[in-house]
Amino acid sequence: MVLIFNQNREFDIIAIGRACIDLNANEYNRPMEETMTFTKYVGGSPANIAIGSSKLGLKAGFIGKIPQDQHGRFIKQYMSEKGVDTSNMVFDTEGRKAGLAFTEILSPSECSILMYRDHVADLYLEPSEVNEDYIKNTKILLVSGTALALSPSREAVFKAISLAKKHAVKVVFELDYRPYTWHSQVETSIYYSLVAQLSNVVIGTRDEYDVMENLATPGNNDDTVKHLFAHDAELVVIKHGVDGSYAYEPNGATYHGQAYKTQVLKTFGAGDSYASAFLYAIVNGKDYETALKYGSASASIVVSKHSSSEAMPTVQDIEDLIKDRS
């Protein structure tokens, strides 16, 4: 099966949530204490997905709040240059700052992030800053889980979902779980469940679904999808790292996509590039089996490079890699 999108929409995808700054270590394979210089990139899961989608040829837009400072202006300008519509990115008027992520690459498999997320502008997006006319003009509304972590951003997302459902826009929920900002895993579980029940497509890692289900030990995919298909879900994607990813349909059909091995530089950005390419594929009517390959190939490319946003691949890059490995 394929997902049916409304065709007469100006945008293929509009993402809502955070657009931030990544400061990536220039000297790596060492503790950050020994890193002396950093390179600046746009970051944040939904911003990366919008940028990645745009680079693949989708018409992408973004709803979010950015600081009225040098970092905020850089974010808007960069996204605009990459083809993302920034007309619904609003400047914060209270002096709030952009979120920062200093990346530490101890080794290709040991990466960590030093986060600055206190009072960041993106979490102060107001419901009143979400416009119905914008949302009704897209095929997909992409919701990032981190945007649910705090009010008023949480309510802005609920409003956006409500408008999307009113106008038959497909709601895609990328779980994108980051423990900072949340008060507790129980709180995360409550809001992830509410949003997942309202979403048409849910994408996340098995670990992230465990958070959504508030499980102490790993859950199983059958239980997860059974619960979601009792509500509005039409497609559920569960990622299992090196074991590849699975797509589930309400009719019981299941698809498996392998992971593509690569020379890993760092693990950041894998999920965002996966989502961009997977959504590109389904918007373009490709079957789910192919979409899983696109996602995996795109992730494989980004983890071999220094940034998350700047490294987003082209369709050609993705198709070349899939052909090479088949």
Positions in the binding site for a copy of itself (CB under 8 A): 23, 26, 31-33, 35-40, 69-71, 73-74, 77, 97, 100, 102, 104, 114, 116, 118-119, 127-128, 151-152, 155, 158-159, 162, 183-184, 186-187, 190-191, 193-194
* Closer to a copy of itself by Cβ: residue 11 or 192: 192
Q: Which residues pair with 21 in a beta bridge?
A: 42, 100
* Closer to a copy of itself by Cβ: residue 77 or 254: 77
Q: Closest Cα partner for 319 from 260, 239, 240?
A: 260
* Closer to a copy of itself by Cβ: residue 155 or 320: 155
Measured in degrees and rounded to the nearest 5, phi and psi for residue 11 equal -105, 145
| Closest distance of CB 13 from a copy of itself, Å | 23
* Closer to a copy of itself by Cβ: residue 186 or 242: 186
Distance (Å, whole) CA 246 – CA 231 = 19
Which residues 6+ apart lie within 8 Å of 122 measured at CB? 17, 18, 19, 20, 44, 64, 65, 66, 98, 99, 147, 153
| Closest distance of CB 110 from a copy of itself, Å | 13
* Closer to a copy of itself by Cβ: residue 163 or 236: 163
Distance (Å, whole) CA 10 – CA 15 = 14
| Closest distance of CB 175 from a copy of itself, Å | 18
Distances (CA, A) of 99 to 66, 104, 118, 249, 277: 9, 16, 8, 36, 25
| Closest distance of CB 267 from a copy of itself, Å | 17
- In Å, the largest CA–CA distance within the chain is 54
